[in-house]
Amino acid sequence: MSNHNAILAIAKKTIETEAEAIHQLSSLLNDDFSKAVECIRTSKGRVIISGIGKSALIASKIVATLNSTGTPSIFMHAADAIHGDLGTIQENDVVICISKSGNTAEIKMLVPLIKRGKNKLIGMTGNTESFLALQSDYVLNTYVEKEACPNNLAPTTSTTAQLVMGDALAICLLELKGFSSKDFAKYHPGGALGKKLYLTVGDLAINNEVPMVDITSDVKSVIVEISEKMLGATAVMENNKVVGIVTDGDIRRMLNKFDTIYGLTAKDIMSSTPKTIEVNVLAIKALELMQAKGISQLLAVEGDNYKGIVHLHNLIKEGIL
């Protein structure tokens, strides 16, 4: 077998091993899982998640997922907890401890301290007979038959199982709380994802020039307006209402159609059915409309009032495209 084929074979085996473990994970769900979800959902405090080693890294990621989906959470490293960080846990908080074996020295030291504070304890472990499991109010079973590591040592399949169990918790809580895309946007105001959820056409158009000409304007005035406002188009107005649009493409078509531009007006070269979009519509909808129509700008309106132009370049600049 060539090195190339050997590498691919190892990768495929790793993925298949972990996939099988995750498939089996669903069969380990029981009443403790649903009770743990309800415990978190009805709690007046936060979720404190702790672990040691690779489990600590997974705990940190689960915290991030819970926070972003509306469940306030804090990461507390198990080693730091027994050296001063135990004060992170407040009266109404629910604590989740993650440990594959459930018998590490740090966990054995931490668990009695948590129990002393009378906080609800959820243990996530692959060993339901472990110290952590026996001391927990609820146990999330993340047992895996073997690690993907050929020596069955490096945490691979086990940490994947922990991560998936954490995702299952987060999504259950999200759905039970009726957490919507609008809620999600509040927690993700930055980046392309957040912008897709809250940025509107008006938010973009307000930063642009507002090109417009009268329906009787001569062609030179139309060209100057398009060039100066640098949006590739201008609205055509009559009695303060939009009646058409002239784009760069219309100018090119005009030059092909007419031998002279003398005497031509905006009315002669405009499209009388401009594509418009309301300013309160999400910018992502503007992108979808542009793509569907094969155009690069839309006239932004508020009812019958023309507010400006939203251009494809605006969407690119904001990272929505």
- Residue 268, annotated ligand binder? yes
**Residue 48, beta-bridge partner list:** 74, 95
From 243, 238, 209, select the one nearest 224 (Cα to Cα). 209
Q: How far apart are CA 41 and CA 224, in angstroms?
A: 61
Q: Quick one: tokens of 206?
A: 């307000």
From 80, 93, 148, select the one nearest 120 (Cα to Cα). 93
Q: What is the per-residue DSSP string for 162-182?
A: HHHHHHHHHHHHHHHHT--HH
Q: Checking DSSP bridges between strand 297-302 and strand 305-311, what pairing results, if any? A: antiparallel
Strand stretches in 224-313, DSSP E: 233-238, 241-247, 276-278, 297-302, 305-311
Q: Which residue is listed with tokens 């090109």?
A: 211
Q: How far apart are CA 197 and CA 65, in angstroms?
A: 18
- Residue 203, annotated ligand binder? no
- Residue 77, annotated ligand binder? yes
C-beta separation of 148 from 84 below 8 A? no
Distances (CA, A) of 184 to 34, 66, 197, 281: 23, 11, 8, 18
C-beta separation of 209 from 229 below 8 A? yes
Q: How far apart are CA 161 and CA 133, in angstroms?
A: 16
- Residue 216, annotated ligand binder? yes
Q: How far apart are CA 281 and CA 23, in angstroms?
A: 41
Summarize the annotated binding site for Zn(2+) as residue ranges. Answer: 77
Summarize the annotated binding site as residue ranges. Answer: 77, 83, 216, 268
Summarize the annotated binding site for substrate as residue ranges. Answer: 77, 83, 216, 268
